[in-house]
Amino acid sequence: MKQSFTVDADTDERPPGEEPRVVILHGISLPPGRFGGPEIEQLFCNCLDWGAHPYFDEIRGLEVSAHLLIRRDGAVVQFVPFTDRAWHSGESRFRRQSRCNDYSIGIELEGEDDMPYEDAQYETLTPVLAALLLAYPAISPREIAAHSDISPGRKTDPGPAFDWLRLYDGLSGQLA
């Protein structure tokens, strides 16, 4: 893992009795196709300069957050404590239960649906997920979902370039 730091984002408490029981994987780049800038952090902290790029007019006023962002180089930024609710899933459903933000942990991977994710991202994501599986017994590898799984027809990330077999092979090595 390259580096890790925490940034404060808008958050709130989970509903009473809700604990994390699913991890949702996302893909994001801001502006689309551009990596490494401060825009993702700015978006999640509600301080994005909406006039800085023409694309930002399309998402103007969007208020979202995630628990973690894993950059292309493997660096991790934590925005929201795992015990709190982040706003990453929108209208969503996992195994017939709606409101995924209430009971999920959202991990954003800096990337694009059709562009391979970096080795460093898998090298960071795998131990992060292994730690979450140990910390939250309700989460197993079967409770790791794509944003596209919980919001079909509305979302496509992390996309076909995300290597699920590589993730599961790495997790089985971490959990052995």
Catalytically active residues, by annotation:
108
Pairwise CA distance, residues 131 & 115, whole Å: 27
Structure-block tokens of residue 90: 């929108």
Q: Count Cβ atoms within 10 A of the Cβ of residue 13 and give its class: 0-12 exposed, 13-18 middle, 19 or more buried.
A: exposed
Pairwise CA distance, residues 37 & 31, whole Å: 9
Q: Is 22 within 8 Å of 100 (Cβ atoms)?
A: yes
Q: How far is CA 123 from the centre of its chain?
A: 15
